[in-house]
Amino acid sequence: MVSKAALSKPAVLGDFVQRGPRLKRRQRRPKSPLTIEQILAWADAHHERTGKWPTLRSGAITDAPGENWVAVNYALKKGRRGLLKNSSLAWLLIRQRGVKKTCAAPRLTIKQILAWADAHHQRTGQWPNQQSGPIAGSQGDTWCAVNRALAGGWRGLRGGSSLTRLLARKHSLRNSRDLPSLSVAQILAWADAHYKRTGKWPTLGSGLIAGSRGDTWSAVSDALRNGSRGLPKGSSLARLLARRRGARKARSLPVLSVANILAWADAHHRRTGKWPQKLSGPIAATRGETWYAIDAALRSGSRGLSGRSSLAGLLEQNRGVRTTRNRSPLTIAQILAWANAYRAKKGCWPSWSSGPVDGTTWSAINAALMSGGRGLPGGSSLAKLLQEQKPE
């Protein structure tokens, strides 16, 4: 039997306060307003104490308990706590203190990016991607940097997009009544070129079609399904590639066995002199298999495999092939040399997802920097290393 005193006392449940049968959310204490003068005073004190101007990574504000630079930057960007929006900590320090930072590149607009893309297409006959290098007519910008700004919402952009999505959206606005006709032979030629270039058959999410005049794989599949643009009705990109190129759907992939994988690996070693890695591309003498798909199946336990393994682990256990656990040591000097070479070739610094590099991958380098493997001290990352060392 619950007493009346117990019923009258509110019960606290996390962020809620129970009063009788209803739950009311506990009101959070509003944060105090901010002013530009106060932020600059904190920044000046930070600079005097550390010799550096604050950034988003500078953590808590020593002179203001409960405040941190990330929250200040958010308030400047969104116009919260009495501030005007569409600014940032970096831009405030540039305007008010003359701070020069590489991350404070000029603002971008969608109109400017599309103008650069149109000029690139007129000059080369192809639409740019993030690997297209420096942008002609810009002040040192690269397509890689533009793609990152579109994705991260930097330099005045909204974020959540990419160069591929932006160009696909632009060309999807073309007059649907005036689109050029398509043929099955043309679609298959584009698909063959895509497979030769990437090692994978295109899907709906593969974006713009290289060598086309603004077509996307999604638009091609819609045309096959609806019977528009001169194509027969009732098909799709996946069905066409399955019927004419043997491309398989994930749900209908055949069962794998360790014996088959090892036989394919032995054949690859005899043919190339090297053991396959997950980025070694298509597997010869198979119908559409790739080493990347094999590695994924070994890790996830799909397609009849037990899981909790990998291509590297399987080859180490059964063929004595070295894995990342016993690869040669790395040095900071070597990583920076590779990064400089990457920038000279691509026009931007590498990230953890930039693929293979001289017998290893940027992902493996990033993992070693974080964990302290392969002779490195640990506690860092590829992004931190490049920011701190600033290689030239």
pLDDT (average), residues 61-70:
88
Share of the chain above pLDDT 90, in %: 12
Strand order in the sheet with 11-13: 11-13, 16-19, 22-25
Per-residue pLDDT reduced to its tens digit, 332-360: 889 999 998 888 888 888 887 787 888 77
Q: How confident is the model at residue 318 (pLDDT cuts 50, 70, 90)?
A: confident
pLDDT (average), residues 291-301:
83
Per-residue pLDDT reduced to its tens digit, 36-49: 999 999 998 888 88
pLDDT (average), residues 216-228:
88
Amino acid at 380: S
Q: How confident is the model at residue 97 (pLDDT cuts 50, 70, 90)?
A: confident
Query: How confident is the model at residue 299, as a pLDDT?
Result: 83
Question: 370-392 in b/e burial notation, b at 16+ Cβ within 10 A?
Answer: beebbebeeebebeebbeeeeee
Tokens standing for 366?
């990033």
pLDDT (average), residues 143-159:
84
Sorted by where each begins, the domain ranges of the chain are 36-97, 110-172, 183-212+222-247, 252-325, 329-389
Angle between helices 237-245 and 217-226 (to 10 degrees): 90
Nearest to residue 224, comparing CAs of 302, 70, 215, 277? 215
pLDDT (average), residues 321-326:
60
18-32, 60-74, 167-181, 216-230: least confidently modelled range: 18-32
Q: How confident is the model at residue 14 (pLDDT cuts 50, 70, 90)?
A: very low
Give 359's contacts (C-beta < 8 A, 6+ positions apart): none
Query: How confident is the model at residue 98, as a pLDDT?
Result: 77
Average pLDDT, the chain: 80
pLDDT (average), residues 170-189:
75
